[in-house]
Amino acid sequence: MNVTRGFTGRRRVSRPGLPPGQYDAGDDWPVLSAEVTPDLAPAHWSFRVDGLVERPHTWNWDEAHALPGSAYEGDIHCVTGWSKFGVRFGGVSLDAFLAVVGPHVSATHVLARSHTGYTANLPLTDLTGGRAWIAWDQAGVPLAPEHGGPARLIVPHLYFWKSVKWIAGLTLLDHDEPGFWEGNGYHERGNPWEEQRYRGD
């Protein structure tokens, strides 16, 4: 351990929900997208699931909203170090979308893509079983454009760069294929509890 002379740090508060190396951002919700925030109206938003599926399908705004509603209430964790407690996202569970398309048994990974062209890769198992959502509300109000509105992917058990803003679609694959940050040196999975920030962590 390399102790830094004179460094005491914040008052230690035990936060059971805080992964290693993270701090509580409190009321802040930093924005860290690397691209220009798109001007995307709900009427122009669409969400497609394709690749290794039985029935590729595209939903528009109204069709996606016709699926059974589901919410995530809990914490989110950004690779840059902040965590935000007690956020509430409303939308539809990804399981509901996947049930429509029928993933092929050979599908193991997913490349999620944004309407901006941003991408992130995920193991399919991280997106099923009630652990991922397409969300359009936060705290009961429509998601702001800079936070991914009109709709974004939410995968709260992984670092938040996986929760693709302005979500356009998922492609199911039988192999892993790096997304935007993964191709820029970030970890392929990004589990905050194992501090998987950069490739090799």
User: What tokens were used for 185?
Assistant: 């040196």
Tell me the CA distances in angstroms from 14 to 17, 19, 20, 139, 170, one per residue in order.
9, 11, 12, 25, 38
Ordered strands of the 109-114 beta sheet: 57-60, 46-51, 167-173, 109-114, 119-123
For other proteins, the binding residue among 15, 17, 23, 139 (CB under 8 A) is 23
- Return the residues of window 133-192 that contact other proteins according to CB under 8 A: 146, 168-169, 171-173, 177, 180-181, 183-186
Which one of 25-33, 64-72, 85-93, 148-156 is the stretch in contact with other proteins (CB under 8 A)? 25-33
Instruction: Yes or no: say if 144 and 84 are a contact pair by the CB < 8 Å rule.
Output: no
Query: Does residue 67 contact residue 97 with C-beta atoms inside 8 Å?
Result: yes
51 binds other proteins (CB under 8 A): yes
Identify the bridge partners of residue 92 per DSSP, sorted by sequence position. Answer: 134
Cβ closer to other proteins: 29 or 70?
Answer: 29
How many residues in total does the chain contain?
201
Residue 91 or residue 113: which is nearer to other proteins going by CB? 113
Q: Residue 92 corresponds to which amino acid? A: V
200 belongs to the binding site for other proteins (CB under 8 A): yes
Q: Does 52 bind other proteins (CB under 8 A)?
A: yes
Residues that bind other proteins (CB under 8 A): 1-10, 12, 21, 23, 28, 30-38, 48, 50-52, 56, 58, 78, 80-82, 111, 113-119, 146, 168-169, 171-173, 177, 180-181, 183-186, 197-201
